[in-house]
Amino acid sequence: MGTPPAGRTANYRAFMAYFSSQLRRSWQASCHLFFGVPVAMAAFLGCFAVPIGVFFTLFVIGAPAWPEIVRILRRFAGYERVRAGGWLGKPIPELYLPLDGSPSDRVRLALTDPGTWRDALWLPFATVSILGFSAVVLVLWPLTLLVDGTAAAVRRSLERRDTAPFDPAPEPPRALLLPVFEILADAQARWTAALLKPSASTKLGQRVAELSESRAGAMEAHSAELRRIERDLHDGVQAQLVALSMRIGLARQQVRNDPDAATEWLDEAQEEIDATLAALRGIVRTVHPPVLTDRGLAGAVRTLAVSADIPVEMNLAAVENGHRLPAAVEAAVYFVIAECLTNIRKHSGATQASVRFTRADGSLQVVVTDNGRGGAEEHGGSGLLGIRRRVAALDGTTEITSPPGGPTRMKVELPCGS
Amino acid sequence: MRILIAEDNALLREGMTLLLTRNGHEVVATCASGPEIMPTLRRTEPDAAVLDVRLPPSFRDEGLRAAVAARQEFPELPILVLSQYVEQAYAAELLALGARGVGYLLKDRVGRVEQFLEALERISEGGTALDPEVVNEIIQQRASTRSLEGLTAREHEVLELMAQGLANAAIAERLFVTERAVSKHIRGIFDKLNLPAEGTSVHRRVLAVLAYLGNDISGEASR
C-alpha cells in the first residue's frame, strides 16, 4: 500500500508547519518593505527639500522656515524609527536638542544638532534602500513560489511513494528562497536603526544631563536635610537652652530670700536639661545613628534585630567586615531596615522576618520580608513614604509588594560606588 | 569606695571625679583611652569601674569591650557603663555577663547626683542599674505583643523601676508610697504576668522581668 510509515508522515508534517510559518514571515517582511514605499517617496522629496532649506537659510531669506523643516524631518524620521524599531522588536532611541528659544536660537539649534544631519543623511539612504529592496521583493516572489513550491510538491509526492523502512532525516530540509525576504527586511531595518539612533556624543550629552539632574536632586535633598537639622537645633535645642538659662537666673535671684523656691527652679532647670539632651540625641540619631560608627552596618543591623521582638533571619555577608559603604548609604539602609522592622512589629502580625543584602555592579540591594498579613499601605503614616523619599534622595529605587494576606516584601536598591 | 573612671572628655572626667570625691568616694585612677583600662585595673584593683562606651583610639565601643574583658578577669568587679546614647543590644550584651554588679546608664543621669550615686551603690552591692530609656523602649515595644494591658498604671510604674534594677525600698521612695504597698504591687504584677514566684534577689528579678518583656534579651548577645 502507498501509506507512508508514521515517522515519515511526522517529518513531512513538521516540514509543512515550518514551510507555512516561513511563508507567513516572508509575507510580513515583504509587507514591511512595501509599506516603506510611501516613506521612500517622501524621503526622495526630502532629499531636495533639505538642501533647498539649507540654501535659503544660508542666504537668510528662508531662515525662519528652517526650524519648521527640521521639525517635520524629525517627525518623519521618528515615524520610521517606530516602524523599523517595531520590526526589530526593540525601540530605536530618539534624542534631539529641543528647538526652543528665540527664532535665531531655533535656527542655530536646528543647524547645529548632529541629529539633523544624521536624519538628512538617512533620507537618500531610505529612498534607495526601500525602493531597491521592494523592487527585489517584487521580482523574487514569483521565483520563490516556483522554486520552493516545486520543492515542497516534489517532496510530498516522494513521501507518498516511498515505502522504504523508517529512516528519519537527520535535518529536515529548509526552504531555499523564502528566508531571503526576512534577511532583506532585517538588513533595511538594522541600517535604518544604525543611521537614526543618537550618536555617541549625543548620548554622552544626555547622560551628563541625567547625572546633573540626579546630582541636583541629591544636592536638594542634602540641603533640605541641612535645613531640617538647622531648624531642629535652633527651634529645639537652642530654645531649650535659653529656657534653662532663665530658670537658673530665677534661682540665683531667689537663692538668698527664698531657698525653697530656688531649689524648685533648679529642679525644673535639671528637667529642662534632660529634655534638651534627649532632643539632641534624637537629632544625632537622624543624622547618623551612632551605632553605625561603633559597629558598622552589619553590626548595626544586628542590634536592630535584637530589639525586633521576632526572629529575624539575616544575610549580611555583603556588608560584613571590610565592606564599608558611603556613610549616607549606610545611614539610609539602617533607617530603611529600622522602619521596616517597626512596621512589621506594629502592623504585620508576622512571626518571622528576614533581611538580605546583595551587592552587584556598584549597587547594594536590600530585601526585607515577613510572613505577616500583608496589605501594607503607602499612605496613613506607615513610614513607607519616608523610606521611598530617603532612598530616592540617594538615586535609589524602592519596590514594595504586599498583597492582602501577605507576605510583604520590600526591595531597596541603592547605588554605592564599587 | 575606690573607683576607676574611664572617660576621654576631660571636662566630664574632672566633673565626675569632683562629684565622686565630694560624696566620700575615692577616684583611684582615670583613663582617657580604651587600652589603658585593663593595665590600670590590674594595678589599682578598684572597688568599682565607671566606663564610657566610646573611647580613643577608634571611638567605637571600646568601653563596652573593656567591660566584657574586665568581667572575665575580675568577675566580682562592679562595672557601670556610661554612654552618650543607649542601645538595647548593648544592654543585652552587658546583661549577658550576668546581671550581678552591672550598670548601663545614659551620661545624662550623672547630673541627677543622688540617683546616680544610688545606682553606683546598688551596683557595688551586686545589684543592677539599667537606664530608664532602655527599659522604657523595651516596654513600649513589647506592650503590643505581651499582655501588659492587665496592669494598672501604678503597677506599670513599679514594673519599669523593677526592670531598672531598683530594690523595693528605692521604688517606694521614688513613688512616694510605703514599701508594703510596693510589695503588694509586685505580687500583683508577678501574678498577672504568670512570672515565677517572687522573693529571689533583686538582680535575678531584673532578669526575670526583662526575659518576660524582651523574649530573650540576655541570651541574644551570647552568639
Cβ within 8 Å of B, A 285-324: 285, 290-291, 293-295, 302-303, 306-307, 309
* Spatial distance between the Cα atoms of A98 and A81, rounded to a whole number of angstroms: 18
| Contacts A274 to B, Cβ<8 Å | 108, 111
Contacts of A139 (CB under 8 A, 6+ apart): none
B12 interface with A at CB cutoff 8 Å: no
Per-residue pLDDT reduced to its tens digit, A158-208: 766 655 545 555 455 677 788 888 888 888 888 888 888 887 777 787 778
Burial class (CB within 10 angstroms; exposed 0-12, middle 13-18, buried 19+) of B176: exposed
Q: Which pLDDT belongs to residue A140? A: 87
B204 interface with A at CB cutoff 8 Å: no
| Contacts A346 to B, Cβ<8 Å | 144
Together in a domain, B113 and B173: no
Inter-chain CB proximity B87 and A291 less than 8 Å: yes
Q: Calculate mean pLDDT across residues A347-351.
A: 86
Q: Is the pLDDT of residue A344 over 60?
A: yes
Q: Which residue of B has its CA nearest to A281?
A: B85
Q: Which residue of B has its CA nearest to A306?
A: B89
Q: Which pLDDT belongs to residue A176? A: 77
Which of B95, B130, B165 represents a domain boundary (last residue)? B130
Size of interface A-B (CB pairs under 8 A): 51
B112 interface with A at CB cutoff 8 Å: yes
pLDDT above 90 covers a percentage of chain A that reads: 13
Give the 3-state secondary structure percentages of chain A, helix then strand then coil, rounded to 5. 70, 10, 25
Q: Is the pLDDT of residue A60 over 70?
A: no
B185/A360: higher pLDDT: B185
B35 to chain A nearest CA, in Å?
A: 16
B92 interface with A at CB cutoff 8 Å: yes
Q: Calculate mean pLDDT across residues B196-221.
A: 62
Q: Is the pLDDT of residue A406 over 50?
A: yes
Q: Look over chain A and give the mean of its residue pLDDT values, rounded to a whole number.
A: 83
Which of B102, B130, B158 represents a domain boundary (last residue)? B130
Together in a domain, B150 and B190: yes
Lowest-confidence segment of A78-87, A160-169, B13-22, B37-46 by average pLDDT: A160-169
Q: Which residue of B has its CA nearest to A312?
A: B220
Which of A273, A277, A303 lies closest to B87 in CB terms? A303
* Spatial distance between the Cα atoms of A343 and A350, rounded to a whole number of angstroms: 10
Confidence of residue A402 (pLDDT cuts 50, 70, 90): confident
Q: Is the pLDDT of residue B218 over 50?
A: no
- Structural domain tally of chain B? 2
Give me A140's grid cell: 523574487
Lowest-confidence segment of A113-127, B23-37, B108-122 by average pLDDT: A113-127
Q: Which residue of A has its CA nearest to B219?
A: A306
* Spatial distance between the Cα atoms of A210 and A141, rounded to a whole number of angstroms: 49
Place of cell 525644673: A268
| Contacts A285 to B, Cβ<8 Å | 85
* Interstrand relation of A312-315 and A353-360 (parallel, antiparallel or unpaired): parallel
| Element containing residue A104 per DSSP (H, E) | helix A103-112
Which of B85, B92, B141 lies closest to A309 in CB terms? B141
B111 interface with A at CB cutoff 8 Å: yes
A400 to chain B nearest CA, in Å?
A: 24
Q: Which residue of A has its CA nearest to B63?
A: A294
Together in a domain, B23 and B122: yes
Q: Which pLDDT belongs to residue B200? A: 62
Q: What is the CATH number of the domain that holds B199?
A: 1.10.10.10
Q: Is the pLDDT of residue B79 over 90?
A: yes
Inter-chain CB proximity B215 and A309 less than 8 Å: yes
Q: Calculate mean pLDDT across residues B193-219.
A: 66
Which of A278, A285, A294 lies closest to B60 in CB terms? A294
Burial class (CB within 10 angstroms; exposed 0-12, middle 13-18, buried 19+) of B159: buried
Could you check whether the bond before residue A38 is cis, i.e. omega within 30 degrees of 0?
Answer: no
Q: Is the pLDDT of residue A16 over 80?
A: no
* Spatial distance between the Cα atoms of A368 and A383, rounded to a whole number of angstroms: 14
Give me A230's grid cell: 538647622
* Spatial distance between the Cα atoms of B139 and B149, rounded to a whole number of angstroms: 11
Q: Which pLDDT belongs to residue B221? A: 36
Per-residue pLDDT reduced to its tens digit, A61-100: 667 777 888 888 888 888 888 888 888 888 888 878 777 7
| Element containing residue B30 per DSSP (H, E) | strand B26-31
Q: Is the pLDDT of residue B215 over 80?
A: no
Where do the CATH 1.20.5 domains begin and end in chain A? 208-287
Together in a domain, B105 and B180: no
A274 interface with B at CB cutoff 8 Å: yes
Inter-chain CB proximity B221 and A306 less than 8 Å: yes
* Spatial distance between the Cα atoms of B193 and B150, rounded to a whole number of angstroms: 9
Which of B89, B108, B112 lies closest to A307 in CB terms? B89
Q: Which residue of A has its CA nearest to B133?
A: A278
Which of B54, B88, B106 lies closest to A307 in CB terms? B88
Look at the alpha carbons of A154, A159, A160, A162 in this order and tell me if their dihedral is positive or negative: positive
pLDDT above 70 covers a percentage of chain A that reads: 92
Q: Look over chain B and give the mean of its residue pLDDT values, rounded to a whole number.
A: 86
Inter-chain CB proximity A306 and B89 less than 8 Å: yes
Total residues belonging to chain A: 418
Q: Is the pLDDT of residue B138 over 90?
A: no
Q: Which residue of B has its CA nearest to A290?
A: B85
Q: Which pLDDT belongs to residue A325? A: 84
Together in a domain, B69 and B57: yes
> At how many degrees (to 10) do helices A103-112 and A114-161 cross?
50
| Domain extent at residue B208 | 134-222
* Spatial distance between the Cα atoms of A89 and B55, rounded to a whole number of angstroms: 62
Confidence of residue B223 (pLDDT cuts 50, 70, 90): very low
Q: CATH assignment of A208-287, given 1.10.1060, 1.20.5, 1.10.3470, 1.10.287?
A: 1.20.5
Strands (E) in A292-340, as ranges, are 312-315
Contact in structure between A311 and A354 (CB atoms under 8 Å):
no
A321/B48: higher pLDDT: B48
Q: Calculate mean pLDDT across residues B99-109.
A: 90
| Contacts B106 to A, Cβ<8 Å | 277
Inter-chain CB proximity B61 and A345 less than 8 Å: no
Which of B111, B130, B149 represents a domain boundary (last residue)? B130
| Contacts B112 to A, Cβ<8 Å | 270
| Contacts A277 to B, Cβ<8 Å | 106, 108
A53/A42: higher pLDDT: A42
Within 10 A of A246 (CB to CB), how many other CB atoms are there?
Answer: 14
Together in a domain, B119 and B161: no
Contacts of B95 (CB under 8 A, 6+ apart): B102, B128, B130, B207, B210, B217, B218, B221
Inter-chain CB proximity A309 and B90 less than 8 Å: no
Together in a domain, B6 and B59: yes
Lowest-confidence segment of A86-100, A345-359, A401-415, B92-106 by average pLDDT: A86-100
Together in a domain, B21 and B110: yes
| Contacts B135 to A, Cβ<8 Å | none
Give me A393's grid cell: 534622595
Together in a domain, B97 and B202: no
Q: Which pLDDT belongs to residue A9? A: 67
* Spatial distance between the Cα atoms of B79 and B134, rounded to a whole number of angstroms: 17
Q: What is the ipTM of this complex?
A: 0.76
Q: Which pLDDT belongs to residue A313? A: 92
Where do the CATH 3.30.565.10 domains begin and end in chain A? 290-415
Q: Is the pLDDT of residue A410 over 60?
A: yes
Contacts of B191 (CB under 8 A, 6+ apart): none
Inter-chain CB proximity B145 and A293 less than 8 Å: no
Together in a domain, B138 and B174: yes
Confidence of residue A356 (pLDDT cuts 50, 70, 90): very high
Q: Which pLDDT belongs to residue A320? A: 83
Contact in structure between A110 and A99 (CB atoms under 8 Å):
yes
Together in a domain, B195 and B152: yes
Q: Which pLDDT belongs to residue B220? A: 39
The segment with the largest mean pLDDT, out of A69-73, A273-277, A379-383, B47-51, is B47-51
* Spatial distance between the Cα atoms of A17 and B131, rounded to a whole number of angstroms: 80
Q: Which CATH superfamily is domain A290-415 in?
A: Histidine kinase-like ATPase, C-terminal domain (3.30.565.10)
